Chain A
């Protein structure tokens, strides 16, 4: 019996097509991507994302970034799918966010479907769209101390 020989990317496409995440992961992790065309690795990352295999996608993206420094999409993927980075920590500002969250808990249901802005526990405004809300609240819409949200 002669078995069809699939390239790694064909096997990945096949397992992605059937939603077989385990097989997909095994193939992707077992492939020596240094020996494969860069576009195949880029495709494998896309497929991993579609399958919600975030950790694998991040791992493949970092490999791609190292192996193919001139491949634009792989470099992009390596940057975007890099592990999160702590930039800094700084003393919390007394912005009254706790009071605003409490206001939302108590009153948000009255504003379903609208955008609201709440600062220090007080409603600054409600509107049908974010743009309208910004016009309404004007400069009071301080980004640090005002919670802005669409009420679902």
Chain B
């Protein structure tokens, strides 16, 4: 059991925890916080917690299956994500933070949907961004145990 499970859950700070990975699948080990999230109830994918990213950024192929061209989609000419410019649009999707213990949290989040040229391959990890999702949850990280605690604000 995680060391701070009891005090953080009892105080109401957090209601779920996940034992995160340090590396994104296939990438070299780095100081990442990689969780599991379920997107629109249809796919569970790895995603990096990134407080430097404004929006959630999810794999183009996953989103192509999930996200129809919908009314609540905001076309943008170009969007700069961490210094790289992408063509795409912003949309709202339900993203569920999956807990290993405690409770999952489902949020309606703002997600960037990249639009690729036919000859382009998407090779960017999934990210959970600050303004688009993380700003509505409380979270704490215990790097000694690789535990990410979270709960709704």
**Chain A contact residues, CB within 8 Å of chain B:** 46, 49-52, 54-55, 58, 73, 76-77, 79-93, 95, 97-98, 100-102, 104-105, 108-109, 111-112, 116, 129-130, 143-152
Contacts and interface: CB of A to CB of B under 8 A. Distances in A.
A86 B107 contact: yes
Given A85-B108, A108-B26, A152-B123, A80 B74 contact: yes
B103 A92 contact: yes
Interface of B: 15-16, 18-21, 23-27, 34, 36, 38, 41-46, 54-55, 59, 61-62, 65, 71-74, 76-81, 90-92, 94, 98-110, 122-123, 125, 129-133, 135-137, 151-153
Given A87-B107, A111-B26, 17 more contacts: A52-B54, A54-B130, A55-B131, A83-B136, A86-B153, A87-B106, A88-B106, A89-B15, A89-B104, A90-B104, A92-B16, A92-B102, A97-B100, A101-B46, A146-B44, A152-B25, A152-B125
Contacts of A146: 44
A73 B103 CA distance: 36
Main secondary structure of the interface of A (DSSP, over half): mixed
Contacts of A105: 21, 23, 25
Interface centre among B102, B109, B110, B125 (most CB of A within 10 A): B110
A52 B108 CA distance: 21
Best-surrounded residue of A83, A101, A102, A143 (most CB of chain B within 10 A): A101
